[in-house]
Structure 1
Amino acid sequence: MGLVTAGSVVLSLDAELGWGFHDLDRPPVDRVESGRRGWHRMLELCTEYDVPATWAVVGHLMLESCDGVHAEHPAPPGWFARERGEWADREDLRFGPELVTELLESPVDHELASHSFSHVLFDRPETDRRLARAELERSLEIAADWGESIETFIYPRNAVGHRDVLAECGVTTYRGRSPTYDGVRGLFDSTVRSRSMVVEPTVDEYGLVNVPASLFLFGFEGPVRTVAESIWEDPMVVQARRGIDQAVRNGGCFHMWLHPNNLTRKRDDRRMRAILSYLDRRRAETDLTVETMGEIAGRLEVPRGVDGGTVAADGGTGTAGDD
């Protein structure tokens, strides 16, 4: 069977341990406690199927220790309260240098990306330009201490904002919001309406490459998932296969994403195994490629204006104003 012209698949992960939930009044216990389990499991599955992924790591996880105060950090009052209080003795939720080492030493060429320093939400009114810059710069500094450079940023909870700060700090790529729905609506759109989940990376007005999300792999959970699996099969596996096939047929990019802490039980492991094994098979049958977000960005030429400023995708000159 000859190769057919195809697109690419991207897998990105928001790796955060406790930091993804530390600002919530009632964090979901099962997911809080599953961060390390899911991290190990996803690394194992990616290695088994040779799938490189973009791992966006909260910068604080790369520290060995801290005072829990972060006095020099311009975070809102009480932002680090749980670290000093309820989680003071839970270093397993606050730090993860050994997990990052495992990631960097993987035989698969994963991309290390930033998920901010402490999971600040970039679209909130309290996240001013100073805080956004501090979150990003601290994350980049810690990575540099590890001898690593970071070019890709994934916004905590996909709260896009302050893109000008990303550009000024040397970031080249981010994950944009998905143009499609999650959950039941997304399943209906993709299976009944045959709506494509393939996205097209673009260069925005700041010269950043936006690689939009296509599908959150854990957007169909709870009782509705249990019922669907009992009478059909895992709906997310169905959607992921459809998105992979769309990339094969039509080109473009199918961008799947998840958190390691989404893998709370063995059935979640089975979901990811089914998706990655199908991806591996389709890659072998066609010229479908699996790329990181950084590799996608590397294939797009970002034009520059005569004054050194970036040129927007529509030909206009971008300016460094607040997003």
Structure 2
Amino acid sequence: MGSVVCSLDAELGWGFHDLEPLPAERVEAGRRGWSVMLDLFEEFEIPATWAVVGHLMLEDCDGVHDDHPAPEGWFDRERTDWWDRPDLRFGRDLVDDLLQSDVDHEFASHSFSHVLFGAPSTDRELAVAELERSLDLADQWGQHVDSFIYPRNDVGHRDVLAEFGLSAYRGTSPTYDGVRGLFDSTVRDQPMLVEPTVDEYGLVNVPASMFLFGFEGPARTVAESIWQDPMVLQAKRGIDEAVQNDGLFHMWLHPNNLTHPRDDRRMRAILEYLAQRRAETDLRVETIADVARRVHAPQGVDGGTVAADGGTMGDD
């Protein structure tokens, strides 16, 4: 049975607070994109893994975070340029919208303040603090966290994830984004499916197959003027591969990627096609945690998965 996973890095300003210059259009698009994606997921009844930056769950803060072992200057922008922009620093209203959704989304962690876990400056103490604060805040909101999505996909300190009882993370993609990815998948006929694996810490690595906004700018405009949206075509192909080969296709994005109505149309076309293929076939739409549970599920003597009642769920 094929499977499709959609994951989102939900971060508002925290995805950019350490960058200079700021990508202003995307910074301002975070709230809009969050709401659009929630609406689209509800319309097509698609569950997704939402990895939320923990700071968004705070009601307020001093912008100093003296008790947090972050690198010097890490919270400077929060105290200066963004001191009067709580809409970029906090997102309790958006988190509440997510939790109130009729769709059973997975609530995952994207760290506390978008620290890069694979960076040399991120020692174990900082990784522990980032994860612990994020999980504590999620617990205050009544959310148990199983999965972690690394900020900027910079994988590191996996032992810390295991120590805190997480079960899975989104690993780096074995495929290419942008023009190279489009060429490989369409011209070279390279597969877009990924294989979840269990690492040495017992965590399930659910790699990404495709970043849904990896082909932008003038090249996208030209392509759309003479053809169809290349990312929609590529996503449809990945979905079809999952159906045909009983494999896993994992697509991801940030809500802040939706900066214009044409981005909304891209996501609508992809999710509409996913819902259509799910209705026509035995395709599953899963979250990262769903995949991890399936990978870790005990096997019966005939190779079928042992059901909760002790029976065996083999292929019919």
TM-score (normalizing by structure 2): 0.93
- Structure 2 residue 246 is matched with structure 1 residue 262: no
Taking the aligned partners of 2:265 and 2:18, their CA distance within structure 1 comes to 30
Equivalent residue for 2:94? 99
Task: Give the Cα separation in 1 of the matches to 2:234 and 2:152.
Answer: 22
Q: How far did 1:259 drift?
A: 0.1
CA–CA distance in structure 2, aligned partners of residues 272 and 196 of structure 1: 22
Q: Structure 1: which amino acid aligns with 2:174?
A: P
- 268, 274, 286: which one pairs with 1:273? 268
Q: 1:203–1:302: 8 Å Cα contact kept in structure 2?
A: no
Letter in 2 for 1:204: D
Secondary structure of 1:13's aligned partner: strand
2:281 counterpart residue number: 286
Q: Deviations 1:97-127 (Å, cap 9, x if unpaired)? A: 1100100010000000000000000111110
**Contact 1:207-1:302 within 8 A present in 2 as well:** no
Report the CA distance between 1:224 and its aligned residue: 0.1
Q: Which amino acid aligns with 1:82?
A: R
Residue 302 (structure 1) shift: 7.3
Of 178, 186, 194, 1:183 maps to 178
Which runs of 5 or more residues in structure 1 are unaligned?
Answer: 1-5, 304-323
Residue number among 234, 238, 243 corresponding to 2:238 in the alignment: 243
Cα drift, residue 146 of structure 1: 1.1
Runs of 4+ in 1 over 3 A off after TM superposition: none
Residue 252 of structure 1: CA displacement?
1.5
Give me the whole-angstrom Cα distance separating, in 2, the residues matched to 1:153 and 1:265: 28
Residue 32 (structure 1) aligns with: 27
Give the one of 98, 105, 110 matched to 2:105. Answer: 110
- Alignment correspondent of 2:222: 227
SS in 2 for 1:178: coil
C-alpha separation in 2, matches of 1:115 and 1:277: 27
RMSD: 0.8
Q: Does 1:168 align with 2:163?
A: yes
| CA distance in 2: counterparts of 1:301 and 1:14, whole angstroms | 25
SS of match in other structure, 2:274 = helix
**Does the 8 Å contact 1:176/1:210 carry over to 2?**
yes
* Residue in 2 that maps onto 1:307: none
Residues 1-323 of structure 1: pairs in structure 2 closer than 5 A:
6-301=1-296
Aligned-pair CA distance for 1:262:
0.2
Fraction of identical pairs, as percent? 73
Gaps of 5+ in 2: 299-316
After superposition, the C-alpha distances for 1:42-92 in whole angstroms (9 at most, x for unaligned) are: 000000000000000000001110110000000001000000000000000
Q: Residue 247 of structure 1 aligns to which amino acid in structure 2?
A: A
Cα distance in 2 between the residues matched to 1:301 and 1:143: 24
